[in-house]
Every structure is written in structure tokens, then in C-alpha cells.
């Protein structure tokens, strides 16, 4: 796994135009956070469900500094429970954010 990570880092650093890589990372991070929030709330964004456990409470802006450059993220917040997505917390604790 370390070799794969190093190969990815080298690819990003060699990339002349890293906008594509930044866009891919932003899309992937956004989808992972949205899927986590859907799992926690019990319903998709904008959907009504009798199984809904908690409501969304907007987004919090956060810049994510990566080797490919700075990525602006919108981290979803919930009305009760954890204020941060666990994915955002994991990225932060590993030094990715």
C-alpha cells in the first residue's frame, strides 16, 4: 500500500496540470461525505422518509491542502450528533486536511 501511495504522490507531483487530479479528489471526497450523511440521516438529500433520524444543517467550508493543490470542500453538518463527517475527521487526523 505504501508503494501505491508513493506512486500516486509521484504522479501528482510530475503532473504539469494538476487541475484534473484536484477535481477527482474533490469529487471523491464530496461523494464519500454525502454517502456518510445519507447513511446517518436515513434518507437522501431532499428526500422525505419516515426512517429519517436527523436533519441536515447546511455545510461548513473547509480548504483541504493536498500535494495537487488546495481543494475547497463543503463539509455537511447535521442538526444533532457529530458536527463533522468521520471522513473529514480521518483526513484531518492523517494530515490530509
CA distance 63 to 40: 24
User: Which pTM value belongs to this model?
Assistant: 0.63
Q: What is the mean pLDDT of residues 57-76?
A: 89
CA distance 68 to 21: 7
Among 1-10, 45-54, 88-97, the range of highest mean pLDDT? 45-54
DSSP per residue over 24-88, as a string? HHHHHHHHHHHHHHHHHHTS-TT---TT--S-EEEEEEEEEEETTEEEEEEEEEESSS-SS-HHH
**Which residues span the domain enclosing 82?**
2-93
CA distance 3 to 32: 24
Domain count of the fold of the chain: 1
Amino acid at each position: 500500500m505504501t508503494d501505491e501511495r508513493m506512486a500516486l504522490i509521484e504522479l501528482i507531483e510530475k503532473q504539469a496540470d494538476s487541475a484534473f487530479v484536484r477535481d477527482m479528489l474533490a469529487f471523491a471526497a464530496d461523494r464519500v461525505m454525502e454517502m456518510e450523511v445519507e447513511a446517518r440521516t436515513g434518507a437522501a438529500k431532499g428526500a422525505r422518509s419516515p426512517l429519517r433520524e436527523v436533519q441536515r444543517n447546511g455545510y461548513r467550508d473547509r480548504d483541504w491542502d493536498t500535494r495537487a493543490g488546495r481543494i475547497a470542500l463543503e463539509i455537511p453538518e447535521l442538526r444533532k450528533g457529530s458536527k463533522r463527517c468521520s471522513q473529514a475527521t480521518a483526513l484531518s487526523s492523517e494530515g490530509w486536511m
